[in-house]
Chains A and B, each alone.
Chain A
Amino acid sequence: MLLLSWLAPAAVVMAWELLARAGWISPQVLPAPSKVISTAIKLATTGSLLNDLGVSLLRVIAGFAIGGSVGFALGILVGFSRVAEAAIDRSVQMIRAIPFLALLPLVIVWLGVGEAEKIFLVALGVTFPIYINTTLGIRQVDPKLIELGRVQELSQLQLIRRIILPGALPSILTGVRYALATAWLALVVAETIGAQSGIGFLAMDAREFLRTDVIVLTIVIYALIGVAADAIARLLERRLLAWHPNYGGAR
């Protein structure tokens, strides 16, 4: 079955390779997969590919750390306090209604085209999924378990640590997964608009010279990193939610 599921994509790549070699597809339109691979090796060994990859990853990590912290802190605050909810939630929901990528021109006016602008955009995209899923997770903790905490005479801090946060964790991790996807999207857009380094810069630079092999390579790299990020999120879920029948898998 596993073999069968890989059959279709493998066939498509083979067909692509054959058609490109036969000259049916112009290299200007779509280079052969083998050409993309050789370009990858060349850029990695002699060019700036690894450096650009590092720059892009750093932007995502910084933006994710900032946006994640802000979203988590706001989520905790609103999840626990009705006053904070009244004060904050409506504003956050209103800002959330804006597609965050639409803010890019404004962000460029504020911060210029540089690292700050890219990290800000990533952070913006990350904040909301983390915020929403944190508050949602806290709200959804079984009130019967909170009551149990009172019966067992837990302090407020113990109640949060032993019952509320673990109960909210599945939802928070769902937020992390969404946030990883939006972080990546934000990075692609920010790097495409204006950059002097990074994967997006590589793609835009290649466009100038009609180097479709490099462009396809950057697309593949974006995809691979997306897959890797998702794998990390899944690993986190399996480790942290081992107790949960939907995530723990093997016992």
Chain B
Amino acid sequence: MTAHVVPPASTVETASPAVVVSNLRRVYGNRVVINRLNLRIERGEFVALLGESGCGKTTLLRALAGLDPIQGGRIAAPRRPAVVFQEHRLLPWDSLWRNVSLGLRLPDARERAAAALAEVGLGDRLDDWPRNLSGGQAQRVALARALVQQPELLLLDEPFAALDALTRIRMHDLVRELVANHRPGVLLVTHDVDEAIALADRILVMRDGAIAFEHRKAEDTASIRRAALLAELGVLTPHAAA
């Protein structure tokens, strides 16, 4: 298994990618699920991965997360990525702040968890139980738990699929804002074409275990110009702040 080899310093490029995947191969029994897949995600870049069920997109995400062994190629990431799953996977026996700080080995874990929860709009629920949350709120806690690790790569495995339409739109805004503030590389696995278009800088379509199509969002010159002008006038928008 060659996942998460830290590349020697000399090969780290100045652009500092969040992850570089080369010639990845993943096999279940004698079925090839991922074949010679190459992918590079920069820090601060939001990549959406579309594809039919069974095309291997979740398999790719799990390989990147280090949850499954790979049978060939390499995944080079500076650090272990953070993951938000389709289910919130909160520990029902821990308060929200304990959930968010799970795995944080820092003396100020509670303060950091509090800040992360405040960022997702749940700053007043530190000591509440997960069972008192709605689906959208639980998924926001899961986002806080991922971001408190300050990941360089954030993997989102259909995290909004189980939410109702309005909650999903609110979550899109929140994710956009969080990613703008923290600037991790993001890989969003989704079925939802509109969601991919709404969030991603780059959209990949996966077919038969490889990237079959790539669409880079054209720079929206109008909005950049507007943000730049606003910045000149002292009004900071997320786009300009980044």
Contacts and interface: CB of A to CB of B under 8 A. Distances in A.
A243 interface: yes
Contact of B65 (A151, A169, A241): A151
Interface in B72-87: 80, 82-83, 85, 87
A28 B238 CA distance: 91
B94 interface: yes
5 contacts: A145-B89, A149-B103, A152-B103, A166-B91, A243-B94
B102 A144 contact: no
B67 interface: yes
A148 B89 contact: yes
B80 A153 contact: yes
A145 B65 contact: no
Contacts of A251: 129, 132
Contacts of B91: 145, 162-163, 166
Nearest to A245: B131
B interface, over-half SS: loop
A162 B102 CA distance: 8
Interface in B34-51: none
A149 B94 CA distance: 14
B93 A144 contact: no
Interface in A201-251: 241-245, 251
Given A148-B89, A158-B103, A162-B102, 16 more contacts: A145-B91, A148-B85, A150-B66, A150-B67, A151-B66, A151-B80, A151-B83, A152-B145, A153-B80, A162-B94, A166-B91, A169-B93, A243-B92, A244-B93, A251-B129, A251-B132
A158 B102 CA distance: 9
A178 B83 CA distance: 40
Interface string B87-99: 1010111100000
Nearest to A142: B89
Contacts, number: 51
Most chain B C-beta atoms within 10 Å of own C-beta, residue among A144, A151, A166, A169: A151
Interface in A156-191: 158, 162-163, 166-167, 169
Nearest to B129: A243
B82 A244 contact: no
Nearest to A170: B93
Interface string B210-242: 000000000000000000000000000000000
Contacts of B132: 251
A153 B89 contact: no
Contacts of A241: 93
Nearest to B128: A251
A145 B92 CA distance: 10
A154 interface: yes
Nearest to B102: A152
Nearest to A240: B93
A249 to B, nearest CB: 13
A167 B89 CA distance: 13
Contacts of B85: 144, 148
A243 B93 contact: yes
A166 B92 CA distance: 9
Contacts of B129: 242-243, 251
B146 to A, nearest CB: 9
A143 B141 CA distance: 20
B233 to A, nearest CB: 43
Interface string B122-157: 000000011110000000000001000100000000
A172 to B, nearest CB: 13
A245 B131 CA distance: 8
B103 A154 contact: yes
Smallest CB-CB A-B distances: 9 pairs? A152-B103, A166-B93, A243-B93, A148-B89, A151-B83, A152-B102, A243-B129, A153-B103, A243-B92
Given A153-B80, A154-B103, A243-B92, A147 B67 contact: yes
A151 B87 CA distance: 14
Contacts of B67: 147, 150-151
Interface string B48-73: 00000000000000000111000000
Nearest to B103: A152
